[in-house]
Amino acid sequence: MCSTRACTEGRKPISTSIGESDFPVPIEDRYFEDYVPNCVYEYGSITISEQEILEFAKKFDPQPFHTDPEAASHSPFGGLIASGWHTASVMMRLFADHYLSRVASLGGPGVDELRWHKPVRPGDSLRIRVTVLEAERSGSKPDQGLVRSFVEVFDQEGNPVMELTVMNILLGREAGSTAI
Amino acid sequence: MCSTRACTEGRKPISTSIGESDFPVPIEDRYFEDYVPNCVYEYGSITISEQEILEFAKKFDPQPFHTDPEAASHSPFGGLIASGWHTASVMMRLFADHYLSRVASLGGPGVDELRWHKPVRPGDSLRIRVTVLEAERSGSKPDQGLVRSFVEVFDQEGNPVMELTVMNILLGREAGSTAI
C-alpha cells in the first residue's frame, strides 16, 4: 500500500513549495513489502555551498571547473560547478535520510543509467523525487527482495539536474521481526 | 595509437605488483583523438582509512554499517564498510589524476551499469583498470567527441570491488590548440 496522493502524483515536475511526501510506513519500520511499485515520494532539500563543492572536488575530482573558481569562470561552464559524484552523494543523503529503510537495508548491487543533466552550482538546493519501479522477492532468499527505484534530482527552480535507477536489497518484514 | 603492451594486456586480472600503464600521451596534452578503443590502462592505488569511511558516510550515507563500527560488526557485513558512493568517488580521483585529460575534459553526461561487487573495508587499497570502449566524434559539434570507458576497481588482493561504464566529452586536438 502507498498513499493515494503520492501514487497519483505521477511524474509531474517537482514544486519547490510542496512539503515532503508521506511514506505510509515510518522509516524505522520499513521493510521490503512496503516498497510498492508506482508509488512516488519527494524529499529535500539540501543546499550545496561553494566551500563544500571545493572540499569534495579537491578530495575526489580535482578538475579545475570543480576546484578553482577563477579557472572555472573561463571554462565552458562559466563558473564553479559541483563534481557529479558530489551531486550523487547529496542525492544519497536524501535517499538514506528519508526513503531507504533504517532497519531492512542490506546494501545495493548498483545503479543504472545515471545521467547528469545540468551542472550544480554554489547555493543550489537539491530535492529528490523517488518512484518505486519494481520490487521483486528473491527466489533463493525468500526473506529478502530487490527494489528498483527511479530517482530524479531537481534544483530549487525545479530543473532536473540528475537522474538514475538505484537497486537496493531489503529484508522482508517477517525476517526482520524474527531476526532480533 | 596506444602502447602495444597496454592494448594486448586485455582483460586479465589486475596485479598489485605491476606499475601504472603508460598512456602514450601526457595527461596535459591528451585530447579526444588519444582515446583509442581497446586500449587498457591501470592506475593506483589509494588506501581508504576507517576515519575517511566514517567521515564520508556521516556526510552522505549515514547507514549504521557505514557510520558505526560497533553496529556494523553486528550487521550482515560483519564490520564497517565504505559507502558505495565513497568507493565511486575514490575511483573518480584515480580516473581524474591519471586517465582523464587535464585540458580537454568537458564533463560527462553520465555512467551506466555501475555495480558494487564487494564491500570496501578500512585499509583496503583501490586500483583501477580502464578500457577505452568507444570514441565517437560528435556529428553536431565536430570539434569534440564522446568517449565511453569501462572502469574496473580492484582491491589490494586483486578482487573486483566495483565496475561501471563512464562517458566523457572531450575536446579534439585541433579545437584545443586553436581555443587558446
Nearest to B114 by CA among A114, A130, A118: A114
pLDDT at A23: 85
Instruction: From B88, B112, B87, B91, select the one nearest B165 (Cα to Cα).
Output: B112
Higher pLDDT, residue B174 or B176 = B174
Q: Are B82 and A51 in contact (CB under 8 A)?
A: no
Number of residues that make up chain B: 180
Rounded Cα distance between A54 and A83, Å, is: 9
* B4-48+94-179 is classed CATH 3.10.129.10: yes
Strand order of the β-sheet with B110-116 is A40-47, A125-137, A144-154, A160-171, A110-116, B110-116, B160-171, B144-154, B125-137, B40-47
**Is residue B14 classed as helix, strand or coil in its secondary structure?**
coil
Instruction: Residue A164: list chain B partners with CB under 8 A.
Output: 110
Please name the residue of chain B whose CA is at the shortest distance from the CA of residue A56. B89
Average pLDDT over residues B154-165: 98
ipTM of the complex: 0.90
| pLDDT mean across residues, chain A | 89
Pick from A55, A56, A63, A114 the residue to mutate for testing the B interface (most B CBs within 10 Å): A114
What is the distance in angstroms between the Cα of B178 and the nearest Cα belonging to chain A?
15
B97/A62 Cβ within 8 A:
yes
3-state secondary structure of B51: helix
Q: Which of B92, B98, B96, B132 is nearest to B20 (CA)?
A: B98
Would you state the pLDDT for residue A119? 97
Nearest to A83 by CA among A68, A73, A96: A68
- A110 vs B83, B114, B119: nearest CB: B114
Residue B39 grid coordinates:
586500449
**Cα(B146)–Cα(B138) distance, integer angstroms:** 7
List chain A residues with CB under 8 Å of B65. 107
Contacts of A93 in chain B (CB under 8 A): 59-62
Contact B81, B72 (CB under 8 A): yes
Query: Which of A75, A77, A89 is most worth mutating to test chain B (most B CB atoms within 10 A of its CB)?
Result: A89
Task: Among B89, B148, B151, pick the best mutation site for testing chain A contact (most A Cβ within 10 A).
Answer: B89
The domain limits of chain A are 4-179
**Does A2 have pLDDT greater than 70?**
no
Rg from Cα positions in chain A: 18
A176 versus B148: the higher-pLDDT residue is B148
Cβ <8 Å between B112 and A114: yes
Instruction: Give me the mean pLDDT over the A47-70 stretch.
Output: 97
Does the beta-carbon distance from A116 to B100 stay under 8 Å?
A: no
Closest-CA residue to A114 (of A167, A162, A153, A61) = A162
Question: Sorting pLDDT into bands at 50, 70 and 90, what band is B118?
Answer: very high
Answer yes or no: do A89 and B61 touch at CB < 8 A. yes
- Of A85, A100, A114, which has the smallest distance from its Cβ to B89's Cβ? A85
Q: Report which of residues B100 and B15 the model is more confident about.
A: B100
Q: What sections of chain A are H helices per DSSP?
A: 4-8, 50-60, 64-67, 69-73, 84-98, 173-179
Closest residue in A to B89 (Cα–Cα):
A60
CB atoms B113 and A116 under 8 Å? no
Q: What does the block give as the cell for A123?
A: 547555493
Whole-number Å distance between alpha carbons of B167 and B106: 11
pLDDT tens sequence across A115-144: 999 999 999 999 999 999 999 999 999 999
Q: What is the pLDDT of residue A151?
A: 98
From the CA of A113, how many Å to the nearest CA of chain B? 5
A102 contact residues in B (CB cutoff 8 A): 63
Fold of the A4-179 domain: Thiol Ester Dehydrase; Chain A (3.10.129)
Cα(A21)–Cα(A118) distance, integer angstroms: 25
Percent pLDDT > 90 in chain A is 83
Cβ(A13)–Cβ(A159) below 8 Å: no
Share of chain B above pLDDT 90, in %: 83
Task: Judge whether A118 and A159 are in contact, CB under 8 Å.
Answer: yes
Probe site for chain A from B27, B85, B167, B168 (most A CB atoms < 10 A): B85
Q: Which three cell numbers stand for residue B165?
A: 561504464
Instruction: Return the residue of B nearest to A76 by Cα.
Output: B106
